[in-house]
Structure 1
Amino acid sequence: MNKLPPFLLLAALLGLSQCKKNDPYPVDQLPPETQTGQRTFGCLVNGQVWLPRGNSGTANYSVYYDPTFRKGTLNVSAYRYQSESATSRQDIILFSDSISAVGQYPLTIPNHQEALFHGSSGQCEFYQNGNQYRRGTLTITRLDLQAGIVSGTFAFTLYKLGCDSIRVTQGRFDKKL
């Protein structure tokens, strides 16, 4: 039986240790689902980790809640730059009215409860009032005005004829107001 010299075996092991594997569980790279005002936001967009990143002079993640407008209006928005280019910006925006308590809300009613995605390119932008299919839910897990904390989870799908669909899953946010 032929034995490999020890230095060849060591070189092979070192070479294999340098291989990078894709994380089979990208959800593990997302921030945890918390309800303590941790200032976290993250989701998977078409199976890829999406986190706020970069700065355009404004916060790359914000949450606004007004309990007096339209029976409770919530706006959650985040953006990221995929590269150094100013044209590589992507935005995820969730907004809903009639939110006054913990619970599940649809993201399918134009101008009242929607999920938007900007930044895919050209005609395949998913703007408010666009001609597109949308399905999704926003689940508020904590709405505590005394502590000033709102947190929740979300998932949605956007589709427009001639465009790739946008599937957002495992979404979570947690923020002090």
Structure 2
Amino acid sequence: MKKLITLLLLTIVAGCSNEDSNSNPESLLPEITHTGANTFGCLIDGKLFIPRDGTGTWSGNDPGLSYLGGYPEGAYNEIDIRDYKSEKTTRMLIHLHNLYQIGVADYIINESNGMSNVDGLNHTYLHCKVFNKSTNSYQYYRSFENSGTIKITRYDFTNGIVSGTFSCRVKNSSNPEDIIEITNGRFDINGYTLPNIVFP
């Protein structure tokens, strides 16, 4: 009987610890690293957002995390993050302007027009698609002038590594009074090895 009570207590404690970690989404974020570990995470209005691959189509899997550069060389780099697995999916795009020329520095997050690559604006911006419970629909949120900072902590062009942290506020495209916070952002990407990484 004593063993049974001990076993029940251990089960309850383990269950509580699990719930505690789930009630603290910050604890589920990847570590801040600068090694090209191919990680990304942030909190969107306090909720965890990390990349998760989709099942894909006939042409291959849908990647949870993509990184690309644009013409002319070094004019911009974009980090495209998607959560394909959650019931209410989320997508974010980070557009870094002149990363190749500037390198390690603080980048001010400015206005987004909701577009990407050559259709986007010629400065650093961020936008995302998030499910809004109050409207029971997906809403598009865009950065605005001086709405946050991306701190690039490592930029190694030769080895394809870019690492940094970020935080900002974004406005609902259809309701400018609706502003959400993106906090505790971090990424550590190796553009050469990223295509081989699985985000479960």
Question: TM-score over 0.5 for the alignment?
Answer: yes
Aligned runs of 1:60-139 on 2, under 5 Å? 60-66=64-70, 68-69=72-73, 72-81=75-84, 83=86, 88-99=88-99, 100=101, 101-110=103-112, 111=121, 112-120=123-131, 122=137, 124-126=139-141, 135-139=147-151
> TM-score with structure 2 length normalisation?
0.68
Q: Which residue of 2 aligns with 1:13?
A: 9
- Structure 2 residue runs without a partner (length 5+): 113-120, 192-200
Deviation (angstroms), 1:165 = 2.9
**Percentage identity across paired residues of the two chains:** 27
* Corresponding residue to 1:169 among 173, 176, 183: 183
SS at match of 1:147: coil
* RMSD, aligned α-carbons: 3.0
Once the two structures are superposed, residues 36-91 of structure 1 have per-residue CA deviations (whole angstroms, 9 ceiling, x without a partner) of: 1111111111112211113143211011234844x5311011100353x5xx3210
> TM-score with structure 1 length normalisation?
0.76
Aligned residues: 166
For 1:67 and 1:37, locate their aligned partners in 2 and report how far apart those are by CA, in whole Å: 23
For 2:75 and 2:176, locate their aligned partners in 1 and report how far apart those are by CA, in whole Å: 36
Once the two structures are superposed, residues 107-145 of structure 1 have per-residue CA deviations (whole angstroms, 9 ceiling, x without a partner) of: 1134122111113254731258xxx77711111111111
Deviation (angstroms), 1:166 = 2.3
Give the AA of the match of 2:68.
Y
For 2:190 and 2:11, locate their aligned partners in 1 and report how far apart those are by CA, in whole Å: 46
SS at match of 1:49: strand
For 2:156 and 2:145, locate their aligned partners in 1 and report how far apart those are by CA, in whole Å: 33
SS at match of 2:27: helix
Off by >2 Å, runs of 4+ in structure 1: 5-28, 65-69, 119-124, 159-166
* Structure number with larger C-alpha Rg: 1
Contact 1:158 1:167 in 2 (8 A): yes
More strand by share: 2
